[in-house]
Structure 1
């Protein structure tokens, strides 16, 4: 009987707070308060309070054993070792996949023919000339630029990495 009184008192208090929030035009907050306020009454009416008490008792018993029982500490160490091994193998698997990818790429055959792109140093005067023709002044990069200088930089980076 006491459980019912506490559950419905908590529900009534939560509904009151939700009403105040709605009165202040904070409807999203009011809806959240109302949803949380319904939980105690719902738990009581479905009979889940005894289940919650049993779960709480079991957690308390486990915590007492955690402090005093060496078997529990051994289990925790085994769980930690297991987690560490799983993380390590996942990391090593990813690293191995990256290494395999680098080794197999050159063995796949010759790279497809790429269009010749001027290096960045040679492309700069061409950009300036194109910008001047476009009427934007010398050295400025404008609409007339085809972006070959940027691709030359990217191509250089790819060559250094062997791609």
Structure 2
């Protein structure tokens, strides 16, 4: 009974604010206030307030377990490890796709310490791999050329 009184009082207050906004010829604002004012009555009439109370209670119970239960912390650690592994493997997979194929053991990449002192514009232009047309990236050839000219 108290829930009904509060929800209809909120609806009436919202309708009053919407009416005041409409009186001041702020029709867009009045429409927004009217829409928000209908929410409490609609939630009460559809019976969603008990559902919201149940959801809030369950979230509170979960938060209590989160703070006090070591099993929940283990689950969070496992989720974090899983996301980290997915991100690392995705990044490593992209590097392998972007890297040109090696011609042999002599074509091994130089260490970062050697390349750190050399400017990127002084690097010799790399030959375009033959597989780029097979991967469906042929449309991006002009973009690759522009980036190559700028040293990116």
TM-score by length of 2: 0.64
The runs of 5 or more residues in structure 2 that have no matched partner are: 103-126, 132-145
Give the number of the structure whose alpha-carbon radius of gyration is greater. 1
1:43 matches 2:35 = no
1:93 maps to 93
For residues 76-113 of structure 1, give each alpha carbon's deviation from its aligned partner in whole angstroms, at most 9, with x where no partner exists: 111111222222222223333222xx44973429xxxx
The runs of 5 or more residues in structure 1 that have no matched partner are: 110-153
5 Å-filtered alignment, 1:140-155, equals: none
Q: 1:9: Cα distance to partner?
A: 0.8
Structure 2 CA distance for aligned equivalents of residues 27 and 74 of structure 1? 53
2:149 maps to 157
Runs of 4+ in 1 over 6 A off after TM superposition: none
* Larger RCO, structure (CA 8 Å, separation 6 or more): 2
5 Å-filtered alignment, 1:10-159, equals: 10-99=10-99, 102-103=100-101, 106-108=128-130, 157=149
TM-score by length of 1: 0.60
SS at match of 1:106: coil
Q: 1:63: Cα distance to partner?
A: 1.1
Structure 2 CA distance for aligned equivalents of residues 4 and 26 of structure 1? 30
Q: 1:155: Cα distance to partner?
A: 10
SS at match of 2:25: coil
